[in-house]
Amino acid sequence: MTDDGFTVTPYTVSGEIDYENVLEQFGADRLTDEQIARFPTPVHPLVRRRVFYAGRDVDRFLSAATAGERHSIVTGRGPSGAMHLGHIIPLYFAKHLQQQTNALVYLPFSDDEKYFVTDNSLEEIGAQTRENLRDLLAVGFDPDRTRIIVDTADADVIYPLAAAFAPSVTGSTFEAAYGQPKNIGHAFYPAVQAAHLLLPQLVEGRHPTLVPIGVDQDPHVRVCRDIAAKRRYDVDKPGALLSKFLPSLDGPGKMSSSSNSGTTPTIYLSDDRETVFEKIHTHAYSGGQPTVDEHRKHGGDPQADVSYQLLHSFFEADDDRLDRIEREYRNGALLSGELKEMAADAIASFLDAHQRRRRRLDSLETELRRYRLTEHEREHARRRVGHSTFKTMI
């Protein structure tokens, strides 16, 4: 959608986003206090602080998760470049839920889509996919409860599913959700995305699935829900948990490799501690006053301050400590530089731990072997949509 002053689509996010307007346009439901309370304890900060602020069919997922019934999470990565904080946080959230509820987690990599919609070559996309996969593996999912799918590497299962779903996606449906396609590959991608989101049910049988994503990615879920509603394949509509965006360092908007201004850097998963501190101190937008004296007198605005928002979103788990930081920043006891120091230290420590796990990984081929779909799972999914292997057909 494009509205006055901002744009939110799966491929473009810009401007200062009115999240209530987005919900009204997309038709999703705001999370209620009752729903937040039903998440497993401790409720993740992203949920209890309403960074994940809306959803679709969240109650069905929560009922299955709390009852110990089969349920799954689907989230993944479009490998268009090096990963940054905004990319990895939904993956750590999915791991948190897996640890709490024993959820199945499916992690698709849409390397084909990124070839369709970017100017990167196949070789560049392949290199980015390999690097991104190592970052995903460093998160530490349970290999017995997790499947990683790469579209081009797993075409033997993804393509038959997408081919089955494609007739349900008309040109008008695509244009309503995405606008004009860039090319024929882009036009076909919603069918591939439906294969991603329905794959857990096609492998494991019908059950509630939750897709935790940025609100800009909701069109993918809406199109897939339309496909599932046709009831041809005995699957439920996938649910969604929709998040606000981690702020770019220069203020409101989505954290990305190119910020709103085009000049402010983002924080990559490969950044060392010194780089994180430099980026935060130099570029993080401050909600403080121009001088120390004015700040001591009037205080700062944590809602406008990027360092505070980063702590609030993910990097400070203790609610009491976060409340104290907010209070002291508002009354001027805490200076902007001190707040930046807190945020930089928290982010650098998070990245230190992530990078240590990444360095300990074995070869990509060895690590991925534990997360690949088995041949039985592949064949089961294909048969659920009326396909069998070519060998079986002849």
Q: How far is CA 103 from the centre of its chain?
A: 17
Under DSSP, the state recorded for 287 is -
The confidence score (pLDDT) of residue 186 equals 94
Residues facing 52 on adjacent strands: 243
Is the CB of residue 98 less than 8 Å from the CB of residue 145? yes
Is the CB of residue 128 less than 8 Å from the CB of residue 87? no
The confidence score (pLDDT) of residue 2 equals 57
In the chain, CATH 3.40.50.620 sits at 2-245
Residue 86: burial class (beta carbons within 10 Å; 0-12, 13-18, 19+): buried
pLDDT in tens, the chain (394 residues): 556 666 666 766 666 677 778 777 777 899 999 999 999 999 999 999 999 999 999 999 999 999 999 999 999 999 989 999 999 999 999 999 999 999 999 999 999 999 999 999 999 999 999 999 999 999 999 999 999 999 999 999 999 999 999 999 999 999 988 889 999 999 999 999 999 999 999 999 999 999 999 888 888 999 999 999 987 788 999 999 999 988 889 875 555 444 444 567 899 999 999 999 999 999 999 999 999 999 999 999 999 999 999 999 999 999 999 999 999 999 999 999 999 999 999 999 999 999 999 999 999 999 999 999 999 999 999 999 887 654 444 4
The confidence score (pLDDT) of residue 256 equals 47
Compute the distance between CA of residue 246 and CA of residue 84 in angstroms, rounded to an integer: 11
The confidence score (pLDDT) of residue 368 equals 97
pTM over 0.85: yes
Angle, alpha carbons 358-314-125 (nearest 5°): 45
In the chain, CATH 1.10.240.10 sits at 273-359
Helix ranges (DSSP H) in the chain? 19-26, 33-38, 45-48, 58-67, 85-101, 111-117, 122-139, 155-165, 171-178, 184-204, 218-229, 273-283, 292-298, 306-310, 319-330, 336-359, 364-369, 375-384, 390-393
Would you tell me which CATH number, out of the four given (1.10.240.10, 3.40.50.1100, 3.10.20.30, 1.10.10.60), belongs to the domain 273-359? Answer: 1.10.240.10
Under DSSP, the state recorded for 5 is T
Three-state SS letters, 291-349: CHHHHHHHCCCCCCCHHHHHHHHHHCCCHHHHHHHHHHHHCCCCCHHHHHHHHHHHHHH
The confidence score (pLDDT) of residue 263 equals 64
Say which CATH topology domain 2-245 has: Rossmann fold (3.40.50)
Closest CA to 151 of 199, 191, 113: 113
Compute the distance between CA of residue 284 and CA of residue 68 in angstroms, rounded to an integer: 43
Under DSSP, the state recorded for 62 is H
The confidence score (pLDDT) of residue 46 equals 97
Sequence-distant (6+) residues with CB within 8 A of 376 are: none
Number of C-beta neighbours around residue 83 at 10 A:
22
The confidence score (pLDDT) of residue 260 equals 41
SS3 273: helix
The confidence score (pLDDT) of residue 6 equals 67
